[in-house]
Amino acid sequence: CRQLFCSPSVPGSVPRPVLKRGQPSDRDSPAKAKRQRRVAGTPGQEASVELVGDGEGVGSAQLEEIKNLLASDDQELIGDFSKPHLLPTVDGKDPGLKYISPGTLEAVLTGHFSSFIESSIIVDCRYPYEYEGGHIKGAVNLPLQRDMEEFLLEQPIVPLDSSKRVIIIFHCEFSVERGPKMCKFLRERDRSCHEYPQLHYPELYVLKGGYREFFFQFPSHCEPRDYRPMEHLAFKEELRKFRGQSR
């Protein structure tokens, strides 16, 4: 079977960010009659890292590792095969997906990749009661497939600056089931809208360890600064309801 992210042998309520809208691309198929939201791609640009802020949470050794990975010639290409993945990846449960560490997400949030990323969208696939109990700042809560289609595919996000990228980072509580499944769902739906290998969103990642791991490492990037597990005893009815909707 072809893996979703590796090159094949032949080749609740959701708060929205304020995004500018542009005209649709002629290349887009079913979605081309719709207006597109403009937001983040980096064709042919040589990779480097812009360091901003005080770099808290990212040591000099990690930054050097990021620079080395970006300069590597053997990186796998993103979903439309136009360029290598920007973010350094780590091994994860599903070899067909690209996983990043909590430290890499923290580096994105603090602007260490701002030279190359126009917009980073963090998709929290947990149920609303989990999200309300604590989430990564700026994350959007998309627990159901219809939420994903409405937010990302009805009016796709495209770059204002063609030299920069839109990246999407998925997670759930542990990033073992809901986050990876939603990441695969978006890629499959995106593929079905285009002539291969074109995509609205060629660069997708999964946060390894999920919200739980990120919260314990970087609680200052979470609001409220708390963690509510999926199987919280006070939310049994909500869990039953959302599991039913997910099916």
pLDDT in tens, 118-144: 999 999 999 999 999 999 999 999 999
List of residues 6+ apart from 15 with CB closer than 8 A: 140
Nearest Cα neighbor of 126 from 108, 106, 147, 104 is 147
Packing angle, helices 102-109 and 210-217, rounded to 10: 70
- Residue 68 lies inside a defined structural domain of this protein: no
Residue 63 pLDDT:
64
Residue 46 pLDDT:
38
117-124/140-141 β-pairing: parallel
**Is the previous residue joined to 229 through a cis bond, with omega within 30 degrees of 0?**
no
The pTM score is 0.72
pLDDT digits (tens, 9 = 90+) for 62-89: 566 556 655 554 468 999 999 999 999 9
Band (243; pLDDT cuts 50, 70, 90):
confident
Contact 170, 209 (CB under 8 A): no
- Residue 61 lies inside a defined structural domain of this protein: no
The pLDDT mean for the chain works out to 80
Higher pLDDT, 21 or 204: 204
Residue 58 pLDDT:
53
**Number of domains into which the chain is organized:** 1
User: Which of 17-31, 102-116, 152-166 has the weakest average pLDDT?
Assistant: 17-31
Q: Identify whether 172 is a catalytic site residue.
A: yes
pLDDT digits (tens, 9 = 90+) for 95-109: 999 999 999 999 999
Band (233; pLDDT cuts 50, 70, 90):
very high
- Residue 113 lies inside a defined structural domain of this protein: yes
Residue 137 in tokens: 């700042």
Give the structural domain span for 166: 87-245
Contact 24, 159 (CB under 8 A): no
- Residue 2 lies inside a defined structural domain of this protein: no
Mean pLDDT of 136-162: 95
- Residue 10 lies inside a defined structural domain of this protein: no
φ/ψ bin of 219: left (φ > 0), alpha (ψ from -120 to 50), beta (otherwise): alpha
- Residue 237 lies inside a defined structural domain of this protein: yes
- Residue 69 lies inside a defined structural domain of this protein: no
- Residue 19 lies inside a defined structural domain of this protein: no
**Percentage of the residues of the chain whose pLDDT score is greater than 90:** 66
User: Which of 209-213, 222-226, 242-246 has the weakest average pLDDT?
Assistant: 242-246
Mean pLDDT of 161-173: 96
Contact 135, 223 (CB under 8 A): yes
Q: Domain holding 175: CATH number? A: 3.40.250.10
Q: 1, 6, 125, 172: which is the annotated catalytic residue?
A: 172
